[in-house]
Structure 1
Amino acid sequence: MRRASTLASCVLSRTLATAHGRAGSGAASISVQHRLLQAALYGSSTSNADAQRRWFSPLFSSSSAQRASVGAAGALIGVVAATSLSQEVYAKESVPPEAVPKDVVLYQYEACPFCNKVKAFLDYYDIPYKVVEVNPLSKKEIKWSDYKKVPILMVDGEQLNDSSAIIDKLGQKILSKKKADSTLEEDEETKWRKWVDNHLVHVLSPNIYRNTSEALESFDYITSNGNFSFTEKITVKYAGAAAMYFVSKNLKKKYNITDERAALYEAAETWVDALNGREFLGGAKPNLADLAVFGVLRPIRYLRSGKDMVEHTRIGEWYTRMENVVGDSARIKA
């Protein structure tokens, strides 16, 4: 799912070899650049937009205050009730205190959609976690692991690999007391989680690397937030953007995409149709499929492609609801 094309590897290899030549042993080998592409393939930009709040400030003139007091009181009660209901509907899911892991560490690339799937889950269930940003070239931060991809999640000393498997296993640990869903709901949830991994993520790269300006926009975020040295930042931004521009063309062919924006819009509309009028696929609250779609879209939301997606499809309202319900990050700041 994260394989990069040979073309991109060759382009980056030749460019980065110059930057790393002083290391003494050809550090910018094809295999190393393949790791970079694994990190950059779905890289994109994000913005932590604050959730919007609505303030109600009814004003009454002194001349009419006495006559309107009963009506104003009734209106105020209605506002309070509606606000309370909204907060109840869009509250994070609670996890029994005894079920919350004591030590959670996520090894990630900041722009990776699969890493963002895991973070959406952790944020929604308010599970505190630390983050270790992995250098995609050296991967020195995960040299201790036989598994060399991200995300890797360490939960109280136990290693969990692969985003969907991580969510499944962690969900079993912390949600064992959660009310069981119906078989129909489980089947629907599973279907759309697979759709995210097998279709939605493949639409992203052709869009965020659609042209040179969008490719540079993506790599500007990747290099600004990734774990790179100063030299790597400069080299990776321009070499990576150029390489991924060409890679995106190959990905279009691989996944039979003729118009990248049309494919993105179609995927967004397909998801909204799946909601079938519900606030979330899970009904009144998000389920794992909601969190998966939100997680992989979150990195691109404030890129040009993400802005276009919200402007030209119906997904915006659902996405805003998800931003509100997932709320602030549970990440522990170092």
Structure 2
Amino acid sequence: MRRASTLASSVLSRTLTPTLHEGGALSTINHRFLLVALYSTTSNTGSSHSRRIFNPFSSSLGVAGALVSAAAAASLSQDVLAKEPPRAELVPKEVVLYQYEACPFCNKVKAYLDYYDIPYKVVEVNPISKKEIKWSDYKKVPILTVDGEQLVDSSAIIDKLRNKIHGKEIVESASDKDDDEEIKWRRWVDNHLVHVLSPNIYRNTSEALESFDYITSNGNFSFTEKITVKYAGAAAMYFVSKKLKKKYNITDERAALYEAAETWVDALNGREFLGGSKPNLADLAVFGVLRPIRYLRSGRDMVEQTRIGDWYTRMENAVGESARIKA
């Protein structure tokens, strides 16, 4: 039994990626599989069928309810959720995202691309060989190529994309106060929110296995690798999550998750979005990192036990269908 455990640990430490944070903040944990496994989903996050949008009007209300629902949806779409895509001449001709499907930072970039309807292709990187990004000196994900130019680090990617496709329009339209608030909460996502998610996802063995179901349906793994990574990885990540709890002084993982969700809702201060009537980059960042876990047990608990559900539903509607180009 001890030999099997040692072998599994050895396989995992050689095959999966080095850090949770793009900047390497968790490299001291020395578990190379942390990033690929951290946020998992049992469906294709980038596909339209994974968007389970809540309809507040039950079908039991009959025709009258349907009419009210349709009218409300139309009003919401026109007045609040209407997108403002960039001018056609500013949209890049070729955008390619090199990613892990469950990576929170990759999902943050996808939320931006989806919201602004920027078509993009996805290359799923094999976390074992990383052959898909051998051409790059940057050995982490996300990597985004925009008309041949390489962009790295999710926040930097989004900033550069915004400058490319919106230019001075965005910079000049935002007040200093709005800009400061947006920056504050974008940093909060990277420096706090992501750190309370792992202990929740891997809180116990069943939740860890639920998250590792991702491995069986995504990525370039052989059958043997899928089985090894799923079961040994779930077990290993259960123990890693305990280290993360200690590292970030988390005593009750669910309480920390609920507190983070409530903190975000308080920041909205009654607004539809932090950006007002439309999402800003902070809204998209929070939504992006939460989207892969939304329908895991931890995500379901979060929505049931906090006030974040209404905002999340508005974000699902606002971001809309994926702009991903299917191969």
Give the TM-score of the pair, scaled to structure 1: 0.83
Is 2:191 aligned against 1:165? no
Deviation at 1:16, TM superposition (A): 6.3
Is 2:63 aligned against 1:57? yes
Task: Work out whether residues 37 and 212 of structure 2, in 8 Å CA contact, stay in contact via their aligned partners in 1.
Answer: no
Match of residue 65 from structure 1: none
- Does the C-alpha gap of structure 1 residues 153 and 189 become closer, same or farther in structure 2, counting only changes over 3 Å? same
Secondary structure at the counterpart of residue 285 of structure 1: coil
Deviation at 1:243, TM superposition (A): 0.5
Secondary structure at the counterpart of residue 57 of structure 1: helix
Give per-residue Cα distances to partners, 1:59-101, cap 9 Å, x unaligned: 9xxxxxxxxxxxxxxxx8x998755431121123321101111
Q: State how far apart, in whole Å, the 2-side matches of 1:293 and 1:273 are.
A: 14
Deviation at 1:223, TM superposition (A): 3.3
Match of residue 192 from structure 1: 185
Match of residue 101 from structure 1: 92
Deviation at 1:316, TM superposition (A): 0.2
- How is 1:323-334 mapped onto 2 (pairs within 5 angstroms)? 323-334=316-327
Give the unaligned 5+ runs of structure 1.
1-10, 18-27, 60-75
Give per-residue Cα distances to partners, 1:188-235, cap 9 Å, x unaligned: 000000000000000110000000000000011233222212111011
Deviation at 1:37, TM superposition (A): 1.1
Match of residue 117 from structure 1: 108
In structure 1, give the amino acid aligned to 2:38. Answer: Y
Deviation at 1:45, TM superposition (A): 1.4
Give per-residue Cα distances to partners, 1:14-35, cap 9 Å, x unaligned: 3165xxxxxxxxxx48454454
- Does the C-alpha gap of structure 1 residues 274 and 29 become closer, same or farther in structure 2, counting only changes over 3 Å? closer
Q: State how far apart, in whole Å, the 1-side matches of 2:230 and 2:149 are.
A: 35
In structure 2, give the amino acid aligned to 1:42. Answer: L
Structure having the higher Rg: 1
Give the one of 121, 126, 131 matched to 1:130: 121
Q: State how far apart, in whole Å, the 2-side matches of 1:197 and 1:31 are.
A: 26
Task: Work out whether residues 223 and 236 of structure 1, in 8 Å CA contact, stay in contact via their aligned partners in 2.
Answer: no
- Equivalenced residues, count: 298
Q: State how far apart, in whole Å, the 2-side matches of 1:333 and 1:220 are.
A: 22
Identity of aligned residues (%): 74
Match of residue 87 from structure 1: 77
Give the one of 17, 22, 33 matched to 1:37: 33
Give per-residue Cα distances to partners, 1:226-271, cap 9 Å, x unaligned: 2212111011001100100000000000000000000000000000
In structure 2, give the amino acid aligned to 1:137. Answer: I
Is 2:309 aligned against 1:307? no
In structure 1, give the amino acid aligned to 2:284. Answer: L
- How is 1:1-334 mapped onto 2 (pairs within 5 angstroms)? 14-15=7-8, 28=11, 30-35=13-18, 36-45=32-41, 47=43, 48-52=50-54, 57-58=63-64, 83-88=73-78, 89-176=80-167, 177-178=169-170, 180-334=173-327
Give the unaligned 5+ runs of structure 2.
19-31, 44-49
Give the TM-score of the pair, scaled to structure 2: 0.85
Q: State how far apart, in whole Å, the 1-side matches of 2:95 and 2:77 are.
A: 28
Q: State how far apart, in whole Å, the 1-side matches of 2:232 and 2:73 are.
A: 50
In structure 1, give the amino acid aligned to 2:41. Answer: S
In structure 1, give the amino acid aligned to 2:113. Answer: L
In structure 2, give the amino acid aligned to 1:49. Answer: R
Q: State how far apart, in whole Å, the 2-side matches of 1:238 and 1:220 are.
A: 9
Q: State how far apart, in whole Å, the 2-side matches of 1:272 and 1:46 are.
A: 27
- Does the C-alpha gap of structure 1 residues 16 and 79 become closer, same or farther in structure 2, counting only changes over 3 Å? closer
Q: Name the Cα RMSD after superposition.
A: 2.4
Q: State how far apart, in whole Å, the 2-side matches of 1:292 and 1:113 are.
A: 9
Q: State how far apart, in whole Å, the 1-side matches of 2:12 and 2:240 are.
A: 18
- Does the C-alpha gap of structure 1 residues 182 and 308 become closer, same or farther in structure 2, counting only changes over 3 Å? same
Task: Work out whether residues 40 and 102 of structure 2, in 8 Å CA contact, stay in contact via their aligned partners in 1.
Answer: yes
Which stretches of structure 1, 4 residues or more, deviate above 2 A after TM superposition? 11-14, 28-36, 38-41, 49-59, 78-85
